Structure 1
């Protein structure tokens, strides 16, 4: 483990805890909503994800009906999510797998599995990758895992907590090794870096002058922010 990166990661974590405030773990009450909603959320904002989910459930009130829905109708139901033609088959295949293997559209049994077993089981499902699995296990089952989405990935790279060529998948294990194996701390790390990427450390025009982490940030110290801030905004 890189002790310098680990120390810096904890320092950034503590500063964002102070800035945003420590949160208790929260997620959707229904783990299946969390699971399917996370599939719908890929490259989709929260409002459109929720609209897609609720439209689907209004048209197909039971999970059996979602599983058995004609594919074109399910695609139409979730059209507010991006790539509905990709996500609809994932959802149908996921539900078919759950009914075939467990007899029900439920993942509640994950609560009784070890973190490693639960991750292995989830990532074997159709369309479920590491990000979806970690979000479900952390938010709904308080397992000590760390979701790394595009915001968390971008902010940690700019700060220099991970290298510029470290993928989001590899960042999951790397950042996890720097942090306490405590679900509440990992939840706050994820949430705070996610919010920071949405609100301050944005992709095109990071608001470095407003950032509480700029004294620790490799990106800010490199002067790249000056180049970005001088780039004309797109109309």
Structure 2
């Protein structure tokens, strides 16, 4: 028998999501999974691309062009060919080269470490001035590598947030970033854990197609379960 649905505010719900997913997946230290340049370029490659193909494209690129300077100066057709496992390789090749030129103008060694000394609005503005870098990519780099208090909203975080009832059904990814952040403490480790756990939950349980609601730890606070799945079961 399903547990009774709890009537909570979105702010109360998001904290329950954090607590429950932390228990399921375990607390993470927040140690960067990869260096800032790798995070930036890989996330640029990840748009509409599976993680496996993103990784394949990244390593094919570095196998053919082993340094960032070599990537920047490569014939765009050859770079595009190296990036073919990713979707839209031609557009991504152009954007990556333009971004690398701008980064080199700021730091000749292609280091993004200077972002650590900027406040969040400055760092966000600089990253989002790069071609092909949007809000999700910028927040991922700043949270994962520089422990800035931002909250990346990818497709999994967005889907779970809408289903549980943290945001409205018409709220976009970009608007969701600020709405969700406003409900959370400005603690980078909390934000990191919540993002990573919602990502994993979206991949394993709250999938786009056929979500596994019957085993979901968010079941009794989830609007989708109460309004869609439970009513379907009752029929």
> Which among 179, 187, 192 is matched to residue 197 of structure 2?
192
**CA separation of 1:95/1:225 partners in 2, compared to 1, >3 Å: closer, same or farther?**
farther
> Which among 180, 197, 204 is matched to residue 175 of structure 1?
180
DSSP 3-state at the match of 1:52: helix
Alignment partners' CA distance in 1, 2:33 and 2:63: 18
Deviation at 1:43, TM superposition (A): 1.6
**CA separation of 1:66/1:226 partners in 2, compared to 1, >3 Å: closer, same or farther?**
farther
> Which among 127, 151, 159 is matched to residue 132 of structure 2?
127
Alignment partners' CA distance in 2, 1:178 and 1:219: 21
- Structure 1: segments with no counterpart, 5+ residues: 229-235
What is residue 123 of structure 2 aligned with on the other side? 118
Task: Please say if 1:18 is aligned against 2:26.
Answer: no
TM-score of the pair, normalised by structure 2: 0.92
Summarize the alignment of residues 149-228 of structure 1 with structure 2, pairs less than 5 Å apart: 149-224=154-229
What is residue 144 of structure 1 aligned with on the other side? 149
What is residue 99 of structure 2 aligned with on the other side? 94
**CA separation of 1:79/1:225 partners in 2, compared to 1, >3 Å: closer, same or farther?**
farther
- Structure 2: segments with no counterpart, 5+ residues: 1-7
Deviation at 1:122, TM superposition (A): 0.8
Contact 1:35 1:136 in 2 (8 A): yes
What is residue 52 of structure 1 aligned with on the other side? 57
Deviation at 1:100, TM superposition (A): 2.6
Deviation at 1:29, TM superposition (A): 3.8
Contact 1:44 1:81 in 2 (8 A): yes
Alignment partners' CA distance in 2, 1:29 and 1:206: 30
Contact 1:208 1:225 in 2 (8 A): no
TM-score of the pair, normalised by structure 1: 0.92
Q: CA-to-partner distance for each residue in 1:36-74, whole Å, 9 max, x for gaps? A: 011011122222111111111111111111111111100
What is the aligned-residue RMSD (CA, Å)?
1.6
What is residue 76 of structure 2 aligned with on the other side? 71
Deviation at 1:225, TM superposition (A): 7.0
DSSP 3-state at the match of 2:151: coil
Count of residues in Structure 1 that have an aligned counterpart in Structure 2: 226
